[in-house]
Chains A and B, each alone.
Chain A
Amino acid sequence: MGLGKASLAQIRQRPSRILLTGIAIAIATFFAAGTMLFTDTLRDEFIRSTVSVSEETDAVVDAVEEPWVLTDEQIQRVAAMPGVDQVAPSGSGVSIAIGRNNYVLRTSPVEGPLAMHTVEEGSAPGTDEVLLSRSLAEELDFAIGDQFEVVLYTEADQKTVTATLSGLVRDSPQGSYSVMTSEDTFVDWSETDGFYQLLVAGSQDEGDLVSAIQDDLGTSVLVNSGQQVRDEDMRSAARQADSIFLVLSIFVVIAMLAAAIIVASTYRILLARSRQRTAMLRCIGAHPGQIVRALLVEAVISGGLAGVSGALAAVGAGTAGLAIADLFVTATMPPLTVSVPSLLLCVLAAVLLSVVAAVFPAIKGARIPPVAAMSSAPLADSESRVGRLRTTLGVLLLLGALGLLALGLMMGTNEGQLFVLAVMASGVLLFGAVLAAGPLLVRIMTRLVERPAGAAGGIAGRLAARNTGRAPRRSATTASVFALGVTLVSAVLVGLSSMQAGADEQLRASMPADAMVSDFSNQEEVDGLLDQQLVDDLAAAPGVSAVTPLWETPLDVDYGTDVVEEWVSSVDVPAIPNLTRNIASGDFSEWGQGSVALYQRVADDHGLSVGDTVTVGAEGRTVELTVQAIYRQGGTLGFVSIHPDDLRTLMPDLDPFRLLIAADEAIELDALQQALEATVPIDPNLSLFYPAEEREAFEEIIGNLRLVALGLVGITVIVAMVGVATTLSLSVVERGQEYGLLRALGLRGGRLRSMLTWEGALLGVYATVIGITLGSAYAAMVASALSDVPMMAIPWGQLGAVLVAMIAMALLAALIPARKAARSSPMQALADD
């Protein structure tokens, strides 16, 4: 009991206390609960879409012996067993092509208890009819009743059949790229001897049914219960959802830590304000433990309320979000999975967070000597001294950070994982250093800016700089959390830009031309689909300026030290400028007969450098080649690349594997695509690639990733904003008398407002400059370490936007306290706290 009543009364009287200490935690909990809801929903959706047999499926019979199929007789026997309602064979794994794209042909029941997919529109497939998922039909531009050609690959060769679209099924990750047909058509098209799997639904006990079938059919089959199969599917689906949750939880933890730091700082300020009160309680006989406990009661209430409201808000937002998405997205949205234990866990985390944040300030606050209650002078907040301990700690952490960084740089890119770990640990230490030495940094910063701020903002700017430096500890804590947010944002932006740049570079290496035609038919053979005729046709196609053939074949390569059968490429490298980027040593200026170029790792592995000799041979012929260049990216050239003249000497009749097509400058991608589609024969083995398309697709992925990542780190920024707002608000309350005095001395309310605005701006600038610098530097280092080619792209524009946006955020956070300050009246100067 003790002081609990006083704590409760305090909360009842000043609910704003709970708001001050709770809002940051509420936001973090909202995020945590949102993450839980999201992954729970995702897990359920994954399970729904991953489970391969329907809920009513009782037994799954698999053939486990040569010839891996169930005989008709076996199927009939099962169907005739007592208590069996439906049996349906299930088949999959046959590769088919529609146009230039490949899909999987499957058959599975669409009616009865065994149905996994139900026909949403149209009818079940009959002979030579197929079902497609809604999105695939849209992509292929097929309507129900349309006929189209399907190329089927059987073991021996391929054949073409005409299929009719009979209906559409709901999209699901499983169904999206599969084409479903009836059992008979499946057998007919795929020329299989039977099915490897049989699904059974029955009305008797699952276990009995499973053993009855197993007993009846013997050991050539394995019978699993439907539940077993579903459980196994669910486990793998849950694992996927769990790994997503793991990634998200990193951001949740960061946001929660930020909230804890902010809330701890808030408690510290609140306790500093109630020192007199604490001293009095100590004086009349309260033990420090009782005072700590009273504050923890408050922290539990604050954390609990914050947790509950955060969790409820997350449920509300999730429901609303799905409802809105349902309106705009064609696919049906899954229902929100609300797991009460998960939400309770979030609330518990909020309470814990609040308690942890409160406990150290509470212990420190309770340590006040009781005699302080006697002094009639108002107690000064004694935080203005920057402890030597903090400075030492800051320096130590800084040294640690630099040490780890140096270690990482020394290890270099060879130790990719370790390097990233070292750099990240270094970043964490550096943040610790900023946190520890923050008060000192803020001091220095305010001293530096006092003059310029005074020049720009007059008395308001000057006072703002002084005020910020006057309580350096709380200013620094808030600013550090803000800086953490900005660091994350900058790191995301720089990281993704570098990733984009790296991907572009890789794309240039692997798809060096404007378009490419590749032949994926049997590559071991000399004769391919890319004959001279096609080369000539393509060269003559509108918009095409050049066609360069590329060969690829396994050859015996004698590196001098050992002989290896290696895939060797051959192309007229100088004709494709993208291939001569990123050369480690040598060049392609002398590229001609007798030349060879090597991938850097290959050259390193065999200790070869420019000028050394490599012998390449095939079918008894050999050529001796001189290393002209060593390249860093093997996307097109592979491990070893020789000149086409030498390849002709070795393998005179080899057809190219790929044609690299250069387009006229003027032509649009659409027009080029049209011209090439018309020229290249439709053959599932011939693939057309457009790097521009790939780049666009990748840009879109990066763009989405950027949005998601910014959303994830944005929560930390918002928590930091709350920190700035609460800290400034508390400062305004604390300095009420002083503001009154300033007002009495003739300072207008507007000036006080701009003073607070300036304080927000100073914190914002300080945090943003630190954040952008740290975030960019670390992200650039990690990015350059992770890619083959040193790649760091600093998105100056985006970082500029971050600078502006973050300072705007700080100003926004200062809005409420500034308004409060402006309302100070000269009377407050006389008020006696």
Chain B
Amino acid sequence: MSSTTTATGTIVAATDVSKVYGSADTQVHALRGVSLGVAESEFTAVMGPSGSGKSTLMHCMAGLDRPTSGSITIGGTEITSLRERQLTDLRRDRIGFIFQKFNLLSELTAEDNILLPFSIAGRSPDEEWLKVVIDILGIRPRLGHRPSQLSGGQQQRVAIARALATRPEVVFADEPTGNLDSSSGREVLEFLRRSTGDFGQTIVMVTHDPSAAAAADRVVLLADGRIAGELRRPSRQDVLAALDELSR
């Protein structure tokens, strides 16, 4: 159980990660020796064709799934050897999640949804920080509303606030714009951008949408369970071209 010390500035590090689903003749190699470091305060997007292993990689990095081999560290902690309890605590305290379908609790108000991680942890929030997040996301007037009274974009903003509220070391977002129209999607991406720029929040986002990827600092391309390339601050066209390249 070696805890690999990663280079300064790397928050999440995957080293030679493989993931095999099934057994014997029905084996699927979802990841084949992926190594990837996510730098602090960087907005990283993961892209690739369907079935390339994007989700699998993210699940492994976020401690939701265990790789078949390889190691993953978050903020210096080797997580593949952690017990389920410790993994849960790690997710609670050090990781934020943004879901495609927002996943807000319908019975709670926006505010209570944002505070949910604190309820779970039994901690009180950093009020100052909370104020900043809520104001930046522009959801203060909506705090008393329940999810059913909010638009999709507003719901996702609440979900982002929930993810940022605990000041996690890294936020994982799974197709955060997948369920939104393009203008709400743009807004959401704008917030994610600002949170890296203004607050130094590290974000890893899986997406299919080239425009979404274009909002990221760095785009990692996956194909057939392997890293197939990487773009820095690409434009939408760059992303499209790279994808096109991949599928050829």
Interface residues of A (CB under 8 A from B): 1-3, 5-6, 9-10, 12-14, 276-277, 280-287, 290, 369-371, 373-374, 376
**Smallest CB-CB A-B distances: 8 pairs:** A285-B92, A280-B103, A371-B64, A9-B107, A10-B107, A13-B107, A285-B91, A286-B120
Question: With A2-B122, A284-B97 known to touch, is A376 a contact of B92 (CB < 8 Å)?
Answer: no
Contact of A284 among B92, B101, B107 (CB under 8 A): B92
The reply to whether B99 and A281 contact each other, CB–CB distance below 8 Å, is no
> Residue A3 contacts which of B95, B119, B174 (CB distance < 8 angstroms)?
B119
| Contact of B64 with A374 in the complex, beta carbons under 8 Å | yes
A13 to B106, CA, bound (A): 9
Known contacts A3-B120, A276-B103, A373-B99; A9/B88 CB under 8 A: no
- B residues within 8 Å of A by Cβ? 55, 58-59, 64-65, 85, 88-89, 91-93, 95-97, 99-101, 103, 105-108, 112, 116-117, 119-122, 146, 162, 174-175, 178
Q: Complex Cα distance A671/B64, Å?
A: 91
Give complex CA distance A13, B174 in Å.
Answer: 29
Complex Cα gap A285–B118 (Å) = 10
- Compute how far the CA of A13 lies from the CA of B147 in the bound complex, rounded to whole angstroms: 13
28 A-B residue pairings within 8 Å (CB atoms): A1-B119, A1-B122, A2-B119, A2-B120, A2-B122, A3-B119, A3-B120, A5-B112, A9-B105, A9-B108, A13-B107, A276-B103, A282-B88, A283-B91, A284-B96, A284-B97, A284-B117, A284-B120, A285-B95, A285-B117, A287-B88, A369-B65, A371-B59, A373-B99, A373-B103, A374-B59, A374-B100, A376-B178
- Chain B residues near A285 (CB, 8 Å)? 88-89, 91-93, 95, 117, 120-121
- Set of chain B residues within 8 Å of A12, measured between Cβ atoms: 107
Give the distance in Å from the alpha carbon of A286 to the alpha carbon of B87 in the complex: 11
CA–CA, A290 to B122, complex, Å?
Answer: 11
A727 to B148: give the CA distance in the assembly, Å.
Answer: 26
| Chain A contact residues: helix, strand, loop or mixed | helix
Q: Is the CB of A374 within 8 A of B119?
A: no
Contact A284 B91 (CB under 8 A): yes
- Choice from A13, A282, A284, A373 contacting B116 with Cβ under 8 Å: A284
* C-alpha gap A276/B100 in the complex (Å): 12
For residue A6, which residues in chain B have a CB less than 8 angstroms away from its CB?
A: 105, 107-108, 112, 116, 119
Report the separation of the CA atoms of residues A62 and B144 in the bound assembly, to the nearest whole angstrom: 81
Most chain-B CB neighbours within 10 Å: which of A6, A281, A283?
A: A283
Residues of B within 8 A of A3 (CB): 119-120
**Are B112 and A9 touching (Cβ within 8 A)?**
yes
In the complex, chain A residues whose CB is within 8 Å of the CB of B122: 1-2
| Given A5-B112, A283-B91, A284-B116, 12 extra CB contacts under 8 A | A2-B122, A9-B105, A9-B108, A13-B146, A14-B107, A280-B99, A284-B120, A285-B92, A285-B120, A287-B85, A371-B59, A374-B55
Min Cβ gap B79→A in Å is 14
Docked Cα-Cα span, A3 to B119, in Å, equals 6
- Give complex CA distance A3, B178 in Å: 28
> Which residue on chain A has the smallest CB distance to residue B93?
A285
Nearest Cβ on chain A to B124's Cβ, whole angstroms: 11
A286 / chain B contacts, CB cutoff of 8 Å? 88, 92, 120
Q: A5-B112, A276-B103 are in contact. Are A283 and B97 (CB under 8 A)?
A: yes
Instruction: Determine how close the nearest CB of chain A comes to the CB of B178; give it in whole angstroms.
Output: 7
Bound: A1/B117 CA distance, A = 12
The one of A10, A281, A374 in contact with B120, judged by C-beta atoms closer than 8 angstroms, is: A281
* Chain A proximity of B209: nearest CB distance (Å): 14
CB neighbours (8 Å) of A373 from chain B are 97, 99, 103
B87: nearest chain-A partner, CB-CB: A370
Complex Cα gap A376–B175 (Å): 10
Min C-beta distance of A283 to chain B, whole Å:
6
Chain B residue at smallest Cβ distance from A371: B64
Residues in B whose Cβ lies below 8 Å from that of A280:
97, 99, 103
- Min CB–CB distance A2 → chain B (angstroms): 6
| Chain A, residue nearest B108 (CB) | A9
CB distance from B24 to the nearest CB of A (A): 21
* Residue among A6, A285, A370, A373 with the highest chain B CB neighbour number at 10 A: A285
Assess the A290–B107 pair: CB atoms within 8 A.
Answer: no
Residues of B within 8 A of A370 (CB): 64, 88, 91
B88: chain A residues at CB < 8 Å are 282, 285-287, 370
* Residue among B58, B100, B106, B122 having the largest count of chain A Cβ atoms under 10 Å: B106
C-alpha gap A265/B65 in the complex (Å):
30
Question: Chain A nearest CB: distance from B80 CB in Å?
Answer: 15
Asked if A371 and B119 sit within 8 Å, CB to CB, the answer is no
Instruction: Across the interface, name the chain A residue whose C-beta is closest to B90.
Output: A285
Distance, CA A591 to CA B120, complexed state (A): 92
**Min distance, Cβ A491 to any Cβ of chain B, angstroms:** 45
| Chain B residue, CB-CB nearest to A12 | B107
